[in-house]
Structure 1
Amino acid sequence: MKQLALALLLCSSFSLNGAESIKTLRAAIGDYPPYTQCESDELNLPANLATEIVGVALKSQGVELEISCYPWARVERLVETGVIDISFPYVHSDERAKRLAFIPMPVQTDTVLFYRKNMEAVPVTFESLSRYRLGGTLGYHYGALFDALDAANKVGWVPTDKQNFKKLLRGRIDFFPLSFHVGYYVLSQFPAYQRATITNLPTPIMVKKFNVIVAKDSPKLPAIRKLIEKGFETIRSSGELSRIQDNYLAPGS
């Protein structure tokens, strides 16, 4: 009973103080450059777009962001059980929404089709793309259009995005889809003369918003939501958000 009373007292105290009582938020992330990065590499390129945006937004509200790195398979569970306060960047799903609350980020993932510059740009339609050799990376879902192309046996699958770029450079496939920012980050690992031969179609095949996730039953949820939403609005109004995003533009964009 004493433990229950103490827990109720703490919750009551937190509810009264709200967002003002939060000085630090703990976040768990995995490797997903250039949105989040835990493992260092030799590229020396900006690789923490989502981390920068969340960190700067929270700092504008007087809150420090503490980052811990884990395999992605563990991250959701750590947030759901309250061991960690938040994680990002996550795409909304009905299954996740049963356990987690979503706070929209001013970041979206545009999945575009990469191709060689010596090829003709084509409309992003089934009729147009079905005439070409397409690549896909195992474990990804690219939306209804690519599902239809895959069902028509137009897609060859490989384990990694880097393998697909190699196939594209060698002329073994004509198009393959990948998040705009992730694609140019992976492409940056290739020599300059090879990078110069690749571009992307301007029309995305899929657009999804990223979110910060919080445990749905966390007593901190209202305060965390208030802090993050206010922080995003602050850096949007000040121009800081645009400055961060400009640092991650693809070469020549």
Structure 2
Amino acid sequence: MPVIAQLLTAFICACLSLTAHGEKLRIVTEPWAPYVYEEQGKALGLDYETTAIVFQRLGIEVEWQFLPWKRCLAMLEQGQADGALDIFHSNERESSLLYPSEPLSDVEFVMFYANARPFPFRTLEDLRGLTVGTSPGYLYSQDFRESTLFKHEPAPTHEANFGKLLRGRIDLLITDRRVGQHLLDQLNIRQQITENPVVISRQSQFLAVRRNAGMDLLVQRFGAELKRFKREPAYAELSARYGAAPAMADSSAMPPGAPVKTVEQQESSAR
């Protein structure tokens, strides 16, 4: 039997099994606005709505759970969830998870500073003597994490970090561009804080599923349908609604030879 036929048979059997037991595909995720979050009991977000549309087109019902990220990863490992939304790709996860060829979105980590105390910069050297607000559960690159040029100060939430920035308890904070822009509006502080255009790093976010029977074809079909949807005006409208913007020009990136390294996230507790 040709390989594609075997995959299709496995996929159909998996779907029939779910249907027979009245089950849905169990997807877990952590609120990460504006990519995925809940508002007044309603699930929203660029990646959530994109994924929901793709699954609807594939005729697959989904059961969503919003949980702390460490719990999401534990449920995947224990077989209590079929997949996770907005997870970063890593070689370590390849043995247990399947990733579509098409990512849902791209994360760009940037710095924000208070207008009352501007600290524009282009290299890590420019941060000498400053205090940078970080997020718990994130592990940055070794050079960034171990640098003694500046102080790293964590906060329990992104909202708390922005509050500390306004009060002058930190000089800068690092977070994803869209997450930061979303919070500027949500906290009504857009006139008080500025985003530094330098992109520290970029990461792609995916929907990943556990390696079970039929899941390999599901991932292929999901990736193909996602890529198709991204070409449609409906996706452009959805993306614009959640603050999507063209990639920054090369002039905003670190100059050649600059010592800034890629920002990475901790495998055990981050995306």
TM-score normalized with structure 2 length: 0.72
CA offset digits 1:180-205 (Å, max 9, x no partner): 22223333342x3x331112111221
Q: Residue 230 of structure 1: which of 212, 224, 228 is its match?
A: 224
1:70/1:88 Cα in 2 relative to 1: closer, same or farther (>3 Å)? Answer: same
1:73/1:156 Cα in 2 relative to 1: closer, same or farther (>3 Å)? Answer: closer
Structure 1 partner of 2:9:
16
Structure 1 partner of 2:260:
none
Report the alpha carbon displacement of residue 116 of structure 1 after superposing the two structures with TM: 1.9
- Give the partner amino acid of 1:226: Q
Report the alpha carbon displacement of residue 248 of structure 1 after superposing the two structures with TM: 1.0
Of the structure 1 ranges 69-78 and 46-55, higher mean CA displacement relative to structure 2 is found in 69-78
Structure 2 partner of 1:200:
195
Report the alpha carbon displacement of residue 170 of structure 1 after superposing the two structures with TM: 1.7
Contact in 1 for aligned 2:11/2:213 (Cα 8 Å): no
Structure 1 partner of 2:152:
155
Contact in 2 for aligned 1:236/1:242 (Cα 8 Å): yes
- Give the partner amino acid of 2:224: K
| Aligned pairs (5 A) from 1:19-168 | 22=15, 25-38=25-38, 40=39, 47-103=44-100, 104-120=102-118, 122-149=120-147, 151-168=148-165
Q: What is the count of residue pairs matched by the alignment?
A: 234
Q: What stretches of structure 2 of length at least 5 have no aligned partner?
A: 246-271
Q: What stretches of structure 1 of length at least 5 have no aligned partner?
A: 1-11
TM-score normalized with structure 1 length: 0.77
Contact in 2 for aligned 1:35/1:49 (Cα 8 Å): yes
1:141/1:63 Cα in 2 relative to 1: closer, same or farther (>3 Å)? Answer: same
RMSD across aligned C-alpha pairs, in angstroms?
3.2
The 1-side partners of 2:76 and 2:135 are apart by: 28
1:189/1:100 Cα in 2 relative to 1: closer, same or farther (>3 Å)? Answer: same
1:63/1:164 Cα in 2 relative to 1: closer, same or farther (>3 Å)? Answer: same
Report the alpha carbon displacement of residue 82 of structure 1 after superposing the two structures with TM: 4.4
